[in-house]
Chains A and B, each alone.
Chain A
């Protein structure tokens, strides 16, 4: 979104978007760094946090790209795909974290966190493709 002088407050929105996006990008990198610092084997909870932070990182990249796009060029399509996928993945993995926490507290013993994470990791790209086609 390059500032358009015809739109009211366009420059303010552009500045706000840029600041928020850069903060988000740095925050995601910090989370990735903290997850990377934890020694292996990593817990399933950490893997979920890692997945959310990767999705956040790609969402920030899409927002950064949107600040430099001008028209319907190839960059626009790349940005669109990254934005929709990372947006869906952020919500998906946050929901999966809540579901896993809930299952751990209610079905203790019969629930495998690692197996659930693998299932989520398989479902995530399928969901991304499905939602991208819908979009």
Chain B
């Protein structure tokens, strides 16, 4: 726990705080801009959610292992099936978000008025995501 658990918990905390602050920033944007780019700010929470889903069984397994060394098989099975498939979960999320972004890009190019300069708004910074 002392070695394996702390980096995960610390990483998850930083990621969660970071994304919550990004959502706060997006909420402060004018509603017209948010509507024009059709941005669902809560979809950003998918990133930390994936990490929580992936590493939570590992954290639970560590904690249960400290108090009950003879832990039930299903706890270990859960950790092995979810934490060890991190590459697969990341790939699924990446491909899903990639397809979603491509669809959004097509829609925004079709609907954005010619006078609207994407680069002049802080929304363009979200393309980083």
Binding stretch for chain A, among B19-27, B30-38, B106-114: B19-27
Consensus secondary structure, chain B interface:
helix
Assembled-state Cα–Cα distance A102/B76 (Å)? 35
- For B8-50 the 0/1 string (1 means CB < 8 A from A) is 1001001100110110011000000000000000000001100
Q: Which residue of B lies closest to A26 (CB)?
A: B88
Interface residues on A, range: 35 or more
Judge whether A12 and B73 touch: CB under 8 Å: yes
Consensus secondary structure, chain A interface:
helix
Judge whether A27 and B77 touch: CB under 8 Å: no
In the complex, A88 has a CB within 8 A of chain B: yes
Judge whether B14 and A95 touch: CB under 8 Å: yes
In the complex, B100 has a CB within 8 A of chain A: no
Chain B nearest CB, measured from A44 CB (Å): 7
- For A87-129 the 0/1 string (1 means CB < 8 A from B) is 1101110110111111011101000010000000000000000
- For B87-111 the 0/1 string (1 means CB < 8 A from A) is 1111110110010000000000000
Give the interface of B toward A (CB within 8 A): 3-4, 7-8, 11, 14-15, 18-19, 21-22, 25-26, 47-48, 51, 55, 73, 76-77, 80-82, 84-92, 94-95, 98, 122, 125-126, 128-129
